Amino acid sequence: MFYRLVAVTLFVSFIAMSTSGLLMFFIERPSFTIQMHPVHKLFGLVMVAAMTAHIALNFRALRNYVRARAVALTGGALVALLVVLYAVAINNELPPEIAQPLDALGAQAE
């Protein structure tokens, strides 16, 4: 039963994260992004919890998948890309005169 709960939770949180992310991607208005942010953030946390349970329940199978060279190389490339994108994003700070009003508006909207 726990496996099924994890699977359904992971599925629903994936749908929520992907649809809210796509909406924010295609509707490029900061006001809409701030409006959708609580949904995206909450289901992001749910997805992390469900994914952690999924990995724990399927660790042996996942480890076997990574033994294939192509899978390991693809996974390594994706992790490297993620690290590079995080580094670029973290080093691309908004000027304080733009960031502070946005932060205040975001806090007020949530």
The per-residue pLDDT for 105 is 81
The per-residue pLDDT for 14 is 96
Q: Is 90 left (phi over 0), alpha (psi -120 to 50) or beta?
A: alpha
Over residues 5-44, the pLDDT tens digits come to 999 999 999 999 999 999 999 998 888 988 898 999 999 9
> Chain-wide mean pLDDT for the chain?
92
The per-residue pLDDT for 30 is 85
Q: pLDDT confidence of 110, banded at 50, 70, 90?
A: low
CA distances (Å), origin 34, targets 12, 37, 104: 22, 5, 11
Over residues 57-93, the pLDDT tens digits come to 999 998 998 899 999 999 999 999 999 999 999 999 8
The per-residue pLDDT for 108 is 82
The per-residue pLDDT for 52 is 96
CA distances (Å), origin 12, targets 6, 96, 105: 10, 37, 29
Tokens linked to 24? 């924010």
